[in-house]
Amino acid sequence: MAGPVNRRLVLARAPTGALAAGDFRMDEAPVPEPADGEVLCRTLLISPDPIQRMEMRARTYRGGLQAGDVMGGFTLSEVVDGGGTDLAPGTIVSCQAGWQEYAAVPAEEVVPVTVRGPLTHHLSVLGMNGLTAYFGLLDVGRPQPGETVVVSAAAGATGNVAGQLARIHGYRVVGVTGSDEKNRMLVDELGFDAAVNRRSETFAADLRAACPEGIDVYFDNVGGPVLDACLLRMRPHGRVVCCGVLSQYDSDAPAAGPRAVPGLVISQRLRVEGFVVLDFADRWAEAAEQLAGWVESGELRVLEEVDEGLEAAPAALVDVLAGRNVGKRIVRVAEARAPAERRPDGASRSA
Amino acid sequence: MAGPVNRRLVLARAPTGALAAGDFRMDEAPVPEPADGEVLCRTLLISPDPIQRMEMRARTYRGGLQAGDVMGGFTLSEVVDGGGTDLAPGTIVSCQAGWQEYAAVPAEEVVPVTVRGPLTHHLSVLGMNGLTAYFGLLDVGRPQPGETVVVSAAAGATGNVAGQLARIHGYRVVGVTGSDEKNRMLVDELGFDAAVNRRSETFAADLRAACPEGIDVYFDNVGGPVLDACLLRMRPHGRVVCCGVLSQYDSDAPAAGPRAVPGLVISQRLRVEGFVVLDFADRWAEAAEQLAGWVESGELRVLEEVDEGLEAAPAALVDVLAGRNVGKRIVRVAEARAPAERRPDGASRSA
C-alpha cells in the first residue's frame, strides 16, 4: 500500500447474541482523500456507546451497519485538512469519524469544539452523555423541589451525570446499578442519597425502602425489569424519562413490555416520554457552559475510564454493554498536537 | 319493612372472568335517613361505566367493592332533602349515588347541574365522558394543525366525542372499533375521515392505509393489541393519550405490556401520558359550556342508548364491557319531576 496508512476496525460479521470483540477485525486502507465538502479528520478519542449495538441491527434513528463496514461512532478528532472550510489544521472537532485513525467527514457534520479542560471531557460530561443527562433530567423530567429522582445505570456515562445534576439541584436522588461497589461509590463519592442493586433478590423491597415517598422522576437508561419495578413505585403525576434501553441493546430476544403501561400510567397520571439529545442541538452550547461551570467548581465529578489504542475499542464496547464500566469509557487513539500548534487564533491555548 | 323502600343492586359475588348480570342481585332496604352533612338524593339516571369493572377489583384510584355492597357509580340525581345545604328539593345534581333508587350522599360530593338540553346529556357529552374526551384530546394530546388523530373505541361514550372534537378542530381523524357497522356510522354520520376494524385480519395494514403519514395523537381507550399497533405507526414527537384500558377491564389475565415501550418511545421521541378527568375539575364548567355550544350548533352529535329501569343496569354494564354499545349507554331509573317544580329560582326552566 503506497502512501500513509489508515488503520480501521471493521465489522467482521453480523453479531448474534451478545457482542464479542471478535466480531470486529482491524484492516488497513489508504488515508482517505477528502472530496469537495469534506474535512479530513484524525481521530484522537473514540466514544464506545451502547446504542451502537442497536445501530448494527439498523433499528435506530441513525441507520444500520453491514459486515465489512468501518464501525461508526462519535469521536473527538483533529482537523488535518479543512478542505474548503475555515477549519484550521489542528482544530479540535466533534464528529462521527468511527473506529479508524483518519476519516473524511462531511463538513456539515464537523462541529468545532471550544476546548475547556481535558479533551476527554468533551466525550463525557461536556459531550453527548453529559448533554443527554442535562436535557433528559431538566427538560424532560422537570423535577420539582422536594421530589425524588431515581436514575438507573447510575454509575454509567449518562446516569452518573443525571444523578449528580439531580443532587446539585437539591432533589433526593437514588441510583440503581448492578453492583454494591458501584453503589458505595455513588453514595460516598458522588453524594447520591441512596443506591440499590438491581441484581439483589430484595431489589423491589430495597427500592421501596430507598424511596419511601415513591418516585417522582425516573430517569430510565435500561428498560426491562428495572423499568417495571420503578413504574410500580411512581407517585401520581410522576415522569418517566425514556433515555436508553441498556438491558436490550445486546440481546436478540425482545423483552416483554412493561405491564404497568397503560393501566398504571392512567391511574397515576404518569408521563412516559422519550427524547434524543440531537433534538436539543440548538441548546448544547448553553448546557455545556453550565456543565463546565459545575465541573470547575467541583460540584460535578467527572468519571472516566480511558483505554489506550484503537485496538482497545471492541473490548471497550463489549464492556460498556455488560455494565463493566464506571462513568464514561473512552478509547484514546492518538494524542492531540500541542495546544499552541493547534489553533492559530489562540482560542484553544487555555486548554 | 316499614316506611318507603329503596331498591338496590348489590354485588352478589366477586366476579371471576367476564362480568355477568347474575353477579348482581336486587335487594330492598329502607330509604336512608340522611345524617348531618348528607343530602338525600333520588336516582334518575345511572351511568354504567367500564371502569367500574376495575373498581370491583379495588385496583383503581377510586377504591374497591365487596360482595354485599351496593354497586357504586355515577348518577344524575334529584335532591329530595338538602339536609343542611342550600340545595332545594328537586335540584338536579351529579353524584355517585350508585345503583339504587335513593342514596344519602355526603354534601361535598353533590354537584348541582345547570340543566342544558336533555338530562341524559349530563351523563354523556356534558358529563364525564364528554369532559374526558375534551381534556384528553385538547390538553393531553395537544394536536397541531395538519395532524392525524386516531381514537380507539371510537364509537364508545368517550371515543365518539374525542373523534368529533378532533374533526371540529380540523384534524384528520381515524376511528378504531370492533365492527364494520360502527365504522360506517363514524364515517357517514360523525364525519370521521376513516375507520378501521380492529378485529379484521388486515387490521395493521388497514391502519397503515388509513394513516399514510403516521399517527400524531393516539387517544387510547383500550390498551392491548390496538395500542401495540398504533405505537408502531406513531410519528416522531407523537403523543399517546392514555385514557382507558377497555381491553383489560373485564379480564383477569393481565395483558402483556407494549413492547414498543421504551425503545420506540425513545427513537420516535413519544410522549405517553395518562390522565384522569377528576384532575381537571376546576375547568369542567368551561369545557361543558364549549361542548354544549357545539351540541347546540349541531357540530357535535350526541350518541346515547337509554335502557329503562334500575334492573337493566347489570346487563348494560356487561354490554359496554363487551363493546355492545354505540355512544353512551344510560339506565333511566326514574323521571325527574317537571322542570317548573324542580328549581324555584327559574334557572332550570329553560331545560
Report chain B residues whose CB lies below 8 A from the CB of A277.
none
Where residue A17 sits, what CATH number does that domain have?
A: 3.90.180.10
Question: Is there a domain that residue A173 lies in?
Answer: yes
Q: Give pLDDT, residue A278.
A: 94
**Cβ of residue A269 closer than 8 Å to a chain B Cβ:** yes
Tell me how close the Cα of A266 comes to any Cα of chain B, in angstroms: 4
- Say if strands A148-152 and A215-220 run parallel, antiparallel, or are unpaired: parallel
Same domain (yes/no): B263, B324: no
Residue A32 lies in a domain: yes
Q: Are residues A239 and A166 in the same domain?
A: yes
- The CATH number of the domain holding residue A252 is 3.40.50.720
CA distance A244 to chain B (A): 7
Residue B314 resides in a domain: yes
Same domain membership, residue B185 and residue B108: no
Burial state string for A23-53 with b = 16 or more CB within 10 A and e = fewer than 16: bbeeeeeebeebeeebbbbbbbbbbbbbbbb
Q: Test A267 with B60 for CB contact under 8 angstroms.
A: yes
Asked if pLDDT for residue A344 goes beyond 60, the answer is no
B274 with B144, same domain?
yes
Helices (H), chain A: 51-55, 128-134, 159-168, 180-188, 203-210, 224-231, 246-249, 263-267, 284-297, 313-321, 339-342
The string over B220-235, giving b where at least 16 C-beta atoms fall within 10 Å of a residue's C-beta and e elsewhere, is: bbbbbebbbbbbbbbb
Residues A18 and A35 in one domain: yes
B219 domain-assigned? yes
> Residue A351 domain-assigned?
no
- Residue B143 shares a structural domain with residue B111: no
Q: What percent of chain A has pLDDT over 70?
A: 93
- Determine which helix (DSSP H) or strand (DSSP E) holds B230, and give its type and residue range: helix B224-231
- Those residues whose C-beta lies under 8 Å from the C-beta of residue A327, and which sit 6 or more positions away, are A124, A155, A156, A157, A160, A302, A303, A304, A305
Rg (CA), chain A: 21
- Nearest CB neighbour to A271, from listed B248, B255, B273: B273
**Residue B134 and residue B111 share a domain:** no
Sequence length of chain B is: 351
Residue A347 maps to a domain: no
Cis status, amide bond into B262, omega within 30 of 0: yes
Cβ-based neighbour number of residue B45 at 10 Å: 24
Q: For residue B1, what pLDDT is reported?
A: 56
Contact B273 A268 (CB under 8 A): no
Cell of B349: 326552566
What is the nearest CA distance from B20 to chain A, expressed in angstroms? 23
pTM of the model: 0.93
Average pLDDT, chain A: 93
Q: Which ipTM was obtained for this model? A: 0.92
pLDDT tens figures, A47-69: 999 999 988 876 444 457 788 89
CB spacing of B272 vs A262 below 8 angstroms: yes
Same domain, B266 and B307: no
Shared domain check, A132 and A113: no
Q: Residue B81: which domain range?
A: 5-120+303-342
CA distance A56 to A66: 7
Using the Cβ of B232 and the Cβ atoms of chain A, whether some distance falls under 8 Å is answered with no
Answer yes or no: do B259 and A263 touch at CB < 8 A: no
Q: Is residue A292 domain-resident? A: no
The answer, for A262 touching chain B at a CB cutoff of 8 Å, is: yes
Hey, is the C-beta of B187 within 8 angstroms of any chain A C-beta?
no
C-alpha A133/C-alpha A112 separation (Å) is 22
Which positions in chain A touch B256 (Cβ < 8 Å)?
256-257, 259
Dihedral sign, Cα of residue B5, residue B6, residue B9, residue B10: negative
pLDDT: which is higher, B13 or A332: A332
User: What is the residue-level pLDDT of chain B in tens, covering all 351 positions?
Assistant: 567 999 999 999 888 789 999 999 999 999 999 999 999 999 999 999 999 998 887 644 445 778 889 999 999 999 999 998 999 999 999 999 999 999 999 999 999 999 999 999 999 999 999 999 999 999 999 999 999 999 999 999 999 999 999 999 999 999 999 999 999 999 999 999 999 999 999 999 999 999 999 999 999 999 999 999 999 999 999 999 999 999 999 887 878 899 999 999 999 999 999 999 999 999 999 999 999 999 999 999 999 999 999 999 999 999 999 999 999 999 999 999 865 454 444 444 333
Alpha-carbon gap: B186 to the closest alpha carbon of chain A (Å): 25
Pair (B132, B116) in one structural domain: no
Please indicate, yes or no, whether residues A44 and A159 belong to a single structural domain of this protein.
no
Range of lowest pLDDT (A13-17, A326-330, B79-83): A13-17
A49 and A147 assigned to the same domain: no
- Cell numbers found for residue A16: 448474534
Whether B270 sits inside 8 A of A265 (CB atoms) is: no
Distance between B49 CA and the closest CA of chain A, angstroms: 16
Sign for the CA dihedral angle at A34, A38, A40, A45 comes to negative
Question: Quick check: B351 and B339 in contact, CB under 8 A?
Answer: yes
Beta-strand ranges (E) seen in chain A are 5-11, 24-30, 38-46, 75-81, 92-95, 102-106, 111-112, 148-152, 172-177, 194-197, 215-220, 234-242, 271-274, 304-308, 328-332
Count of structural domains within chain B? 2
| Euclidean distance between CA atoms A116 and B56, whole angstroms | 61
Q: Is the peptide bond before A48 cis (omega within 30 degrees of 0)?
A: no
Q: Is residue B348 part of a domain?
A: no
